Amino acid sequence: MSKYDEIIQDIVDACRKNVDLFKIVKDISQMEINKRYKIRKNASKFLKRENGIDKEAMKFYFIITEDGIAEEVLRRIKVDES
């Protein structure tokens, strides 16, 4: 079990409800690791840590840009739809 398992499941559930979020995850899954880290860096520049919504968004971007996480989210969505 991954240390991100619960968060991954939360992202899976959110992707089922929000097509735009699903598209973001899908796009990130197709990026190389260097581009993922650029997204992470930009998120930390533009999102404020004090704001609750920004804090959650930053957490999302930090986790989803980890190597293999976006792919795992998509795999779980596909498995659950089967």
Domain hosting residue 37, numbered range: 5-81
Compute the distance between CA of residue 15 and CA of residue 7 in angstroms, rounded to an integer.
12
Compute the Cα dihedral for 20, 78, 68, 33 and give only its sign: negative
Q: What's the number of domains the chain is made of?
A: 1
- How do residues 42-67 score in pLDDT, each as one tens digit? 998 888 877 888 889 999 999 999 99
Q: Note the pLDDT tens digit of each residue in 5-52.
A: 999 999 999 999 999 999 999 999 999 999 999 999 999 888 887 788
Q: pTM for the whole thing? A: 0.86
